[in-house]
Structure 1
């Protein structure tokens, strides 16, 4: 079950960590071909997660962020890592369902702790919605490919990109609000509840990012109305959110809808126009089932549905008064910040 080329490295890890050369039991948890390998192993009667990272990536950054999170009580205890062999052994979380009503409080509290940690290392490539704010060849190519693919009708593509330009124009001018980010919390599998504590797992995408990015992708799953939004943000900020915080949060939620719509429609459709004759679930219904682990994004059809529900929700949001109001509030903040910078004396 363990890949033969990793057998010696796993044996070394077991010996250094537990003083044994084999486990008592093993269960393969690998999601699908191409995923990093994951196994539940039993050693001396206790369960651990053995992870073999097969995808390319910076293991030093990955393990550094994971260890920092574990030290803060956010991630399971780290028993062993080898950057050379790309292997880690951590405590195994026996997960139970976390009701969305409880998640509204537990997750922002965990993110508040995470975002207060010392800065995480940077990453060579941004796989979150803030990628859409990083001007350069990668972003230009992504947008050009989406426009040329005709995945959506031309009028819808142009509407999406026009609204995107509005959000990017005001958001990119804001003072950065960077914090240690998990950056892969659109997947409910990365937030595990053991019946007592919430654990954040799989730190492969962690890096220093806009603090609102983590907040937004989770909220897009579990926050369904304004009251829940206020509860969620108050738990994160430690006090009721002000007008600017709510506006900035709202805009990055829309940026997340844009990013996941474009990314997953492209992935699921192989860059070709999609068949829209089949109805998709309502956004809230899909996310409720996604949160409950009743649906996955493993195949192309599921990816296409996921992209479509983000697009449908974004289409509704773009026509709401709150969209333009959030743009105005954040734009006004930009004007204040830029005016302050002009007034500040320059360094001698």
Structure 2
């Protein structure tokens, strides 16, 4: 189960950490889309999480990943770390026996946890979430996966966001950047964040927007969510910036999942024939009823974000948000 090339370094890790060279049980964990190999191992009757990084590119840099995880673990945001080895690209941490986290409880716990995360010492800087979106938009357009008339409005409106949304380094905070339900574990009392592969310095609204996909159903939820995060009612600028950040996230998820699902090749899809209810789709992901492993579901998930983004961009509130953020930017000059 563990690759032959990694078996000796895993034995070394077990010996160094626990004084034994073998585990009593091992089970591969397959949730999520990470390229890392993740296992639940049992050593001396106690379960732990063994993670083996398999990619060697900058995005999977073990130094950055382990540094961010160490800071989060010290703050008791991430599970306790027992062993890391940058050269061997492996780590051993506490294993969290996850229990269902009710949405209403998540609405109370997660904004405060995000505030704690974003208050950590600065993580390394890689890129802003807008830069990430720009990269995937360009790849999506080059691949010509969908007819241009299907995405023309989307691209045009997105360019209006890019023109006003701030890219100020002083706004950046320590972010997780991959807060899908598989990486938010509830042990029955507290919430832990795992898989720090994508962690780096980023816009706080990037994390806030991703979690909001699951927790924020209407403007009342939004006010409570942002108020809990900031520790005070969010003013019109914070709410406007949050709205625009959510559209950047929709755009990023649309292009990323369309590229992965379509394998970078043109496809024929009719949006009218698909069940594209954003809220119920995310409720089912949260409940573990939908997995994003298959290509067909990836494509549907991409279209879910596309449809929601188009719906949002056709509202007066979107126009107001553009004006509010634009004015704020002008006042800062």
RMSD: 1.8
Residue from 168, 191, 197 that aligns with 1:198: 191
Moved more, 103-112 or 304-313: 103-112
Please state if 1:132 is matched with 2:136. Answer: no
Residue number in structure 2 paired with 1:292: 287
* C-alpha contact (below 8 Å) 2:274/2:300 kept by paired residues: no
Q: Is the 8 A contact 2:146 2:266 kept in 1?
A: no
| Partner of residue 344, structure 1 | none
Deviation at 1:121, TM superposition (A): 0.9
> What residue is the counterpart of 1:158 in the other structure?
152
Once the two structures are TM-superposed, the CA of residue 288 in structure 1 deviates from its matched residue by 0.3
Secondary structure of 2:273's counterpart equals coil
Structure 1 runs of 4+ off > 6 angstroms?
A: none
Task: State the partner residue of 2:209.
Answer: 216
Task: Verify: 1:117 aligned to 2:111, yes or no.
Answer: no
Normalising to structure 1: TM-score of the pair? 0.90
Deviation at 1:245, TM superposition (A): 0.5
**Residue aligning to 2:329:** 334
Alignment of 1:4-15 (within 5 A): 4-15=4-15
Query: Residue 97 of structure 2 aligns with which residue?
Result: 94
Q: Deviations over 1:23-79 (max 9, x none)?
A: 121112134898311111111221100111112221110000001000001000000
What TM-score does the superposition give when structure 2 sets the normalisation length? 0.93
Shift of 1:220: 1.6
Q: CA deviation at 1:144?
A: 4.2
| CA-to-aligned-CA distance 1:171-198 (integer Å, 9 cap, x gap) | 136674100010111x210000000000
Structure 1: 5+ residue runs without aligned partners? 134-138, 339-348
**1:39 and 1:146, CA in 2 relative to 1: closer, same or farther beyond 3 A?**
closer
Q: Deviations along 1:146-186, whole A, 9 cap, x unmatched? A: 3344433423322111111110110136674100010111x
What is the distance in 2 between the residues matched to 1:11 and 1:93? 22
Give the SS at the match of 1:233: helix
Partner secondary structure for residue 119 of structure 1 = coil
Q: Is this contact kept in 2: 1:268–1:300, CA < 8 A?
A: yes
SS in 1 for 2:306: helix
**Deviation for aligned residue 1:273:** 3.0
